[in-house]
Amino acid sequence: MSRHAYPLSALAGDYARAAAGLALALPPLVLLPLNRYVFAVFALLAALFLLFAWRTLLRQLGPIEMSEEAIASLGPFATRLEWAGLDEMKLAYYATRRDGRSGWMQLALRAGGRRLRLDSRIEGFAAIVARAVAAARQRRLPLSAATASNVTALGIALAPAEA
C-alpha cells in the first residue's frame, strides 16, 4: 500500500490564482452599483474562481492510496477503483509553451462507472501510472497513441503490441 498526496508547494500557485481571481471579481460586486449584465459577468467570474479554489482544496484534502488491488481517493468525496475492473486509462500531456517543453500530465482512470483524475504534481505520479499501465495490460485495454507516447515519455516500458 502506498499513499500519495499533492504537496502544498504544488498547489500554492492554484491557491494564488484563485485568490487573485476572487480579489478582482468580488470588489466590484460589493462596492459598485452595476447593471444586471455586468453584475452577472462578475458574479460568474467569482463563482468560477470559487469553484477552482474548492477543487484545489479537495485535492489537498484527498490523498490517494494505491495497492495491488485498487486505487482510492480519500477525503470528502472518496472514490475507489478496482484495478481488476479498469475500463479506461488515458494519459494526456498539456503543454504550457508552444514548443512543448513545459507542461503537465493528467491521468484519467475509469472503472465501473467511477472516474479518478490525477495530475503529475502528485507525489509518486510515475509509480501510479506504471501500476495503471500494468492493470490496463492485464485487462487488455487498448491505449491511444497519445497515451502510449506519454507513458513512454515517463520512462515506462510498454509491451510490443501496445507500442
158, 152 contact by CB (below 8 A): yes
Structure confidence by residue, pLDDT tens digits, 30-53: 999 999 999 999 999 999 999 999
Regarding pTM above 0.75, the answer is: yes
For the chain, the domains span 2-61, 64-153
Structure confidence by residue, pLDDT tens digits, 54-82: 999 999 999 999 999 999 999 888 999 99
Q: Closest Cα to residue 111, out of 77, 88, 93, 133?
A: 88
